[in-house]
Amino acid sequence: MRRATKHQWRIAVGLGVTLLVVAIGFAVVVNGMGSNDALPDNGVDTVLGEAADAGAVATSPAASPSPAPSSTATRSPSLTPSPTPSRDRTAPTIGEAVSQYTGIWTEYWCSSGPRRSQIQIPVADETDAVESLEVVVRYVLRRGDNQETFPLGEVRLTPSGNPVVLTIGPYPGPNAAYASTNVIDMTVNATDEAGNRSTRTFVSFMTFSECKQG
């Protein structure tokens, strides 16, 4: 009987201790919940509340659109138009032409003189390089008896220096259209890149003899 009483006592004591611990823990939890409600507002809950509120996010400074840039910040400074360059109005100059020989003959068996001749024509331009010019030389045969004319040909070239150098002839013969004694008229045109042109004609520049058969 005495042993049973001690055992029951031990169970009762253990159960009481357990209940006491549970009661203390419950009281602590309840007291903690009550103390949170009593805490003063330190701003943390307010910030979290705004972050969860869709309306607050839409009106927060971080979400507001950036101000439009000032028109003066992006406006380019006005540019003064550059003056239009003056047009080149200076035409080339054509100097006195010089022939290697004063006359030539048709290229035929009875010819007694040179059949071709080298020509030098001074050409210059104050505003353009001579290599940029275009020179056109035309030859015309003019009969010595009735002054009837016949074209002999045209040479178009770009000078590589000054004077312009070219060769006239040879011309085949005999030619029934020519008289025994004829002259050659030479016309020279010089044009620069701007379209300015000079013309010079050399009348009776050299003689042209036709070797008539028989």
Whole-model pTM above 0.85? no
How far apart, in whole angstroms, are the C-alpha atoms of residue 139 and residue 155?
A: 9
Q: For 28-74, what is each residue's pLDDT tens digit?
A: 444 555 554 444 444 433 333 333 343 333 334 444 555 554 545 45
CATH architecture of 93-209: Sandwich (2.60)
Q: Binning pLDDT at 50, 70 and 90, where does residue 212 land? A: confident
How far apart, in whole angstroms, are the C-alpha atoms of residue 201 and residue 120?
A: 14
How far apart, in whole angstroms, are the C-alpha atoms of residue 200 and residue 94?
A: 7
Cross-strand bridge partners of residue 104: 208
For all residues of the chain together, what is the average pLDDT? 76
Q: For 150-170, what is each residue's pLDDT tens digit?
A: 999 999 998 888 999 999 999
Residue 26, φ and ψ in degrees, nearest 5 = -65, -40
Count CA within 13 A, CB hemisphere, residue 9: 6
Domain ranges across the chain: 1-32, 93-209
pLDDT at 140 over 90: yes
Q: Binning pLDDT at 50, 70 and 90, where does residue 84 land? A: low
How far apart, in whole angstroms, are the C-alpha atoms of residue 186 and residue 37?
A: 120
Q: How far is CA 153 from CA 104, 133, 167, 175, 183, in A?
A: 15, 20, 12, 15, 14
The beta strands (E) that lie in the chain are given as 93-94, 98-99, 103-105, 117-121, 123-124, 134-143, 149-157, 164-168, 181-191, 197-209
Only one residue has tokens 């003959």, namely 105
Share of the chain above pLDDT 70, in %: 59
Cβ neighbour number for residue 213 with a 10 Å cutoff: 8
What pLDDT, on a 0 to 100 scale, did the predictor assign at position 213? 62
Of 5-19, 86-100, 149-163, 182-196, the range with the lowest mean pLDDT is 5-19
